[in-house]
């Protein structure tokens, strides 16, 4: 395959930065990321107006400017820190997990028991803290993880990001993994890590979220219903620079007494209610900069999602 010059330049720059951040001590690498985030936020004002609008949409127009600025800054800084940890993913081992996510050891036993009892699970991890760490941490504790990811426009960058993510799980590209393949993996004792707080472009499940209505996909719920496995909501939080909190919430089980449509809505609404509460408790932990703003209404002429099989 031939690559465009732009692809080669982007990939070269990415590998150069990744190489630098990999050889620096952990805190030094985070300090570099802090500096880049500070420039983006304070000097270039990266998406600050839109992010402030989103925060006030959720918490009210009377939210003090200082509080809005703090939430927006820490959200962007945390994302910069997350990128550092992704670039250093191959170096994240079980000892690193125990040192930097001490609460994980207190929860992983219950998660493993659920997986063993039901043959698999779907772990729903919102865009909070460093959400990728949930998959890496589970993998380091012997849980076979997989996830679904979008494809980057630059094929070299796309392959590199997938390699980094595969330090902790198997990656299926969105559109490439079939429902049959996903269900087979779940029934085979594997665990799907999925982001539930993502807006979809097709008309799908409209559920209450953050004081408004979000249009989200039913895939998370349908995978669990079809494979007959529980959905386990989990939330990560960054505590300071290098430590992370981890909570897994009560599992949500498919209800065979309901239709698939009713059950998919019930599971999805329950997960998003948990995410809503976590965001309101620690709004700076959520990624407010997502291009796919979850509360953007879907156009009336948007195609509908496929019917529930």
- Tell me the domain boundaries of the chain: 93-285
Question: Is the overall model pTM greater than 0.75, yes or no?
Answer: yes
Taking only Cα atoms into account, the Rg of the chain, rounded to an integer number of angstroms, comes to 19
306: exposed, middle or buried (Cβ count in 10 Å: 0-12, 13-18, 19+): exposed
Nearest to 211 by CA among 49, 74, 54, 48: 54
CA distance 86 to 93: 13
pLDDT number for residue 7: 72
pLDDT number for residue 242: 96
CA distance 214 to 200: 9
CA distance 309 to 302: 21
CA distance 265 to 206: 9
CA distance 230 to 233: 10
Sign of the four-CA dihedral 260, 265, 268, 274: negative
pLDDT number for residue 246: 92
26: exposed, middle or buried (Cβ count in 10 Å: 0-12, 13-18, 19+): middle
* φ/ψ bin of 178: left (φ > 0), alpha (ψ from -120 to 50), beta (otherwise): beta
Given a contact cutoff of 8 angstroms between Cβ atoms, the answer to whether 104 and 137 are in contact is yes
pLDDT in tens, the chain (309 residues): 577 787 777 778 778 887 888 889 999 999 999 999 999 999 999 999 999 999 999 999 999 999 999 999 999 999 999 999 988 988 889 999 999 999 998 889 988 999 999 989 999 999 999 998 988 898 889 898 888 776 777 676 667 776 766 666 777 776 655 778 889 999 988 999 999 999 988 889 999 999 999 999 999 999 999 999 999 999 999 999 999 999 888 999 999 999 999 999 999 999 999 999 999 999 999 999 998 899 998 876 666 666 555
pLDDT number for residue 102: 94
Residue in the structure block whose two tokens are 């953050």: 210
CA distance 260 to 300: 24
pLDDT number for residue 101: 95
What's the CA angle centered on 23, arms 149 and 100, to 5 degrees?
65
Can you tell me whether residue 128 is helix, strand or coil? Answer: strand
């Amino acid at each position: 395959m031939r690559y465009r010059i732009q692809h080669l330049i982007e990939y070269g720059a990415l590998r150069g930065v990744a190489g630098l951040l990999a050889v620096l001590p952990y805190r030094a690498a985070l300090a570099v990321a802090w500096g880049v985030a500070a420039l983006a936020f304070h000097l270039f004002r990266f998406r600050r107006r839109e992010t402030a609008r989103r925060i006030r949409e959720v918490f009210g127009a009377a939210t003090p400017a200082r509080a809005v600025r703090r939430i927006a800054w820490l959200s962007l800084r945390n994302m910069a820190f997350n990128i550092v940890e992704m670039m250093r993913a191959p170096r994240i081992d079980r000892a690193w997990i125990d040192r930097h996510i001490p609460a994980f050891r207190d929860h992983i036993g219950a998660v493993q028991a659920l997986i063993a009892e039901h043959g698999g699970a779907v772990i729903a991890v919102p865009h909070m803290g460093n959400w990728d760490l949930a998959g890496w941490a589970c993998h380091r504790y012997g849980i076979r993880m997989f996830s679904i990811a979008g494809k980057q426009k630059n094929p070299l960058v796309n392959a590199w990001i997938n390699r980094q993510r595969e330090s902790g799980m198997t990656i299926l590209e969105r559109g490439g993994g079939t429902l049959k393949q996903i269900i087979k993996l779940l029934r085979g004792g594997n665990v799907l890590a999925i982001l539930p707080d993502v807006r979809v472009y097709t008309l799908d499940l409209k559920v209450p979220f953050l004081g408004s209505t979000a249009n989200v996909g039913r895939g998370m719920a349908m995978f669990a219903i079809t494979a007959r496995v529980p959905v386990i909501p989990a939330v990560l939080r960054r505590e300071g620079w290098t430590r992370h909190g981890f909570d897994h919430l009560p599992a949500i089980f498919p209800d065979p007494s309901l239709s698939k449509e009713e059950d998919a809505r019930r599971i999805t609404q329950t997960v998003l209610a948990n995410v809503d509460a976590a965001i309101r408790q620690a709004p700076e932990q959520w990624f407010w900069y997502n291009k796919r703003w979850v509360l953007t209404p879907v156009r009336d002429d948007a195609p509908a999602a496929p019917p529930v099989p």
